[in-house]
Amino acid sequence: MEIHIKGLTRDYYSEGKRIRALDNVDLEIPANRIFTLLGPSGCGKTTLLRCIVGLESPDAGEIAIGGEIVWSKEKGIFVPPEKRGLGMVFQTYAIWPHMNVFNNVAFPLQSRNISKDEIRKSVAKALSFVQLDGFEKRPATKLSGGQQQRVALARALVAEPKVILFDEPLSNLDAKLREETRKELRSFLTKLQITAVYVTHDRIEALALSDLIAVMRSGGIVEVGDPKKIYFNSDDRFVADFIGRANLIKGKVSVLEGSHAVIDTGIGPIIGLNSHDIPVGTEAMLCVRPEFINLAATDEAGKRNTFLGKMETLIFIGEAYEGEIRIGDTLLTTTIPPTVNIVEGDDIYISFDSDHCFLLGV
Ligand code: ATP
């Protein structure tokens, strides 16, 4: 089910000061997709999620789930959380340690007028979905972190919600388990064909898991797009920088060439994608991700987008080198294959692929 959010504003007050946690947010969350709210700490992700759930009352705006208005300040509508048809998975899983797996998963059904037999069937279905068949009697404390996360998911699913919401559900897992669990979660959610709203400040998690990402900053939505669009060709400098490591090189647009443009920078003219139609004469930035700075052979010297630099620092991190290349006053961060024979201080030619660097407004 889709979610429509219009003009949502939420203020908090602390020590006599107003904190605008959400600032007139408009957002369309499409049905049956994994939709992630991504942004730095304090940007308003959790507040937005809690407003959708009904745990927060916004100061202005409207929220509709599947066409039904569940909150409207103007129309005086407030549908309580338990009537919104939502499932929720929290950061701490909120698994009750004194209960076994069955009782944890059955919990949302206990207060409803449902027969014991139906509850048993629903719990078995939810546990089977998360591949924990047969774990009913296991005490919640005798589960691994990943299994606890799956119990939390089963509990969120047991009442067959229309929408499932996640607030940083993987942040308590160690790095390796987090990677496995997010893969598993994506596969579960894709199979379920359910609307999922997922909050994280972890860009890799957002890229790996989402169909769509909304990047937030200071209580507002800056950009919404699929992971590749946001990573390869973002509309916004803050987003480009937040979603991955980025070299941002300042300059002025000098020539337009179809979908591309030349930008005159401190290291020379560079041609890149100009999806935002930045006109000639405008100050702009060229965004190049470290993995798209290619090493070039000496005989490519003088070619377009090719420059001579000096390898200033080089750090071996196993799967690659992370390096910094200096060209005049500009220091570029690069990722270099570990097989390349290079040391700090070497002169090195690099080139930018014009389809994998893009212009942004300043
Ligand atoms: P994080 O990733 O750190 O959880 P977030 O993006 O989820 O951050 P929110 O928790 O939504 O951010 O907070 C948004 C802003 O509102 C922050 O400035 C926060 O300090 C403030 N805030 C949140 N809850 C309250 C509260 N109960 N009282 C006062 N200020 C609050």
Q: Which atom of ligand 1 is nearest to the CA of 216?
A: 6
pLDDT band at 153 (very low <50, low <70, confident <90, very high): confident
Q: Ligand 1 pocket: which of 22, 25, 47 to mutate (most atoms <8 Å of CB)? A: 47
Ligand 1 atom 2: residue of nearest CA = 41
pLDDT for res 26:
97
CA separation, residue 207 to residues 49, 87, 155, 265 (Å): 19, 23, 26, 30
The pLDDT tens digits for 119-148 are 998 899 889 888 888 888 988 888 887 788
Whole-number Å distance between alpha carbons of 192 and 189:
5
d(CA 106, ligand 1 centre) in Å = 31
In the chain, the percentage of residues whose pLDDT exceeds 70 is 99
Among 264, 350, 346, 348, CA closest to 303: 350
Among 10, 71, 3, 11, CA closest to 37: 3
Does ligand 1 have an atom closer than 6 angstroms to the CB of 46? yes
Q: Judge whether residue 94 has pLDDT over 80.
A: no
pLDDT for res 19:
92
d(CA 149, ligand 1 centre) in Å = 24
Does ligand 1 have an atom closer than 6 angstroms to the CB of 41? yes
The pLDDT tens digits for 215-264 are 999 999 999 999 999 998 888 989 999 999 999 999 999 999 999 999 99
pLDDT for res 109:
86
Domain 245-361, what fold?
Answer: OB fold (Dihydrolipoamide Acetyltransferase, E2P) (2.40.50)
Whole-number Å distance between alpha carbons of 238 and 243:
9
User: Token pair for residue 304?
Assistant: 């377009």
pLDDT for res 92:
67
Q: Within 13 Å of residue 345, how many CA atoms lie on the same side as its CB?
A: 0
d(CA 224, ligand 1 centre) in Å = 21
The pLDDT tens digits for 172-201 are 777 887 888 888 888 888 888 899 999 999
Does ligand 1 have an atom closer than 6 angstroms to the CB of 200? no
Q: Judge whether residue 301 has pLDDT over 80.
A: no
Whole-number Å distance between alpha carbons of 306 and 300:
7
Whole-number Å distance between alpha carbons of 285 and 148:
45
pLDDT band at 93 (very low <50, low <70, confident <90, very high): low
pLDDT for res 296:
83
Ligand 1 atom 21: residue of nearest CA = 21
Q: Judge whether residue 20 has pLDDT over 70.
A: yes
304 φ, ψ to 5°? -60, 140
Whole-number Å distance between alpha carbons of 293 and 296:
9
Range among 127-136, 155-164, 182-191, 327-336 with highest mean pLDDT value: 327-336
Range among 25-34, 93-102, 119-128, 154-163 with highest mean pLDDT value: 25-34
Cβ atoms 83, 112 nearer than 8 A: no
pLDDT for res 3:
97
Does ligand 1 have an atom closer than 6 angstroms to the CB of 45? yes
d(CA 116, ligand 1 centre) in Å = 40
- Beta strands per DSSP E along 144-265: 163-167, 195-200, 212-217, 220-225, 247-257, 260-265
Handedness of CA 245, 251, 255, 256 (dihedral sign): positive
pLDDT for res 169:
82
Asked if CATH classification 3.30.70.3290 holds for the domain at 3-240, the reply, yes or no, is no
The answer to whether domain 3-240 and domain 245-361 are alike in fold is no
- Cα–chain center distance at 120: 36
Domain spans, the chain: 3-240, 245-361
Does ligand 1 have an atom closer than 6 angstroms to the CB of 14? yes
Q: Which of the pair, 170 or 67, is modelled with greater confidence? A: 67
Q: Which of the pair, 88 or 3, is modelled with greater confidence? A: 3
The pLDDT tens digits for 25-77 are 999 999 999 999 999 999 999 999 999 999 999 999 999 999 999 999 889 99
Does ligand 1 have an atom closer than 6 angstroms to the CB of 21? yes
d(CA 45, ligand 1 centre) in Å = 8
Ligand 1 atom 11: residue of nearest CA = 44
pLDDT for res 298:
79
Does ligand 1 have an atom closer than 6 angstroms to the CB of 10? no
Does ligand 1 have an atom closer than 6 angstroms to the CB of 12? yes
The mean predicted confidence, pLDDT, of the chain is 90
Ligand 1 atom 28: residue of nearest CA = 12
User: Taking residues 267-278, what's their average pLDDT?
Assistant: 94
Helix/strand/coil for 9: strand
156 φ, ψ to 5°? -70, -25
Q: Which of the pair, 143 or 312, is modelled with greater confidence? A: 312
Cβ atoms 219, 58 nearer than 8 A: no
User: Token pair for residue 109?
Assistant: 């059904």
Q: Judge whether residue 112 has pLDDT over 80.
A: no
Local structure of residue 70 (DSSP, 8 states): E
Does ligand 1 have an atom closer than 6 angstroms to the CB of 201? yes
151 φ, ψ to 5°? -65, -45
pLDDT band at 113 (very low <50, low <70, confident <90, very high): confident
d(CA 193, ligand 1 centre) in Å = 30
